[in-house]
Amino acid sequence: MSGVVLGLHASLTGGVPKQPVEMLEVSETGCTGDQQNDQRHHGGPLRAVCLLEDWVLERLQQDGHPIYPGSTGENMLISGCSPGDLGIGSQLRVGSVWLSITSAAVPCKTIRNSFIGGQFHHLSDKRNPGQTRWYAEVIQAGIVRLGDEVRLVTTNEPTGNP
């Protein structure tokens, strides 16, 4: 699997939507300039970066949901993945950064405005395997820019096709 970075997002004040940025400086503790309001459930070394695959965004938009890049709090919108390509243990090279998927990001009410009737469960790996945002830890820090290559390096526990 090989794709590109389609969107980069950060929030200086925390919360959603995250605003588009041209580049992200990524460290083991997160993305410089990106804050989280709820650090119990977001951020930290095992949730340093939040990823959304473009096929998930497109599927939800086709279903009529008002989701858009950054509206669900993802730091990176990436292309090149097919349903089931990513899962816990998958490792990605994104530009100069090396990431390892640690968990699916459990949806919460703060992203409800991205869904018809506030039904944020449409972005739930538990209900819709693979149709989720992914949290990743940073194996190698660096800079990510729009258009950087995204390459799947290893897959350990891929999800099934939704």
Q: pLDDT at position 40, please?
A: 60
Q: pLDDT at position 161, please?
A: 37
Torsional class of 41: left (φ above 0), alpha (ψ -120 to 50), beta (otherwise): alpha
Tell me 79's DSSP state.
Answer: -
For 14, the domain range is: 2-157
Q: Is residue 143 part of a domain?
A: yes
Residues 103-155 have pLDDT tens digits of 999 998 999 999 999 999 999 999 999 999 999 999 999 999 999 999 999 86
Q: Is residue 35 part of a domain?
A: yes
Burial (CB count <10 Å: 0-12, 13-18, 19+), residue 5: buried
Q: pLDDT at position 13, please?
A: 83
Residues 29-53 have pLDDT tens digits of 999 888 665 556 555 789 999 999 9
- Residue 149's H or E segment, with its range, is strand 149-154
User: What is the reported pTM?
Assistant: 0.91
CATH number of residue 116's parent domain: 2.40.33.20
Q: Is residue 162 part of a domain?
A: no
Q: Is residue 21 part of a domain?
A: yes
Q: Which two tokens stand for residue 36?
A: 């989280």
- Structural domains in the chain (count): 1
CB 117 within 8 A of CB 69: no
Give me the half-sphere count of Cα atoms (radius 13 Å) on the Cβ side of residue 96.
Answer: 10
Query: Using CA atoms, how far apart are residues 11 and 35, in angstroms rounded to an integer?
Result: 6
Q: pLDDT at position 41, please?
A: 54
Using 50, 70 and 90 to split pLDDT, how confident is the model at 15? confident
Residues 134, 83, 24, 48, Cα dihedral to 10°: 10
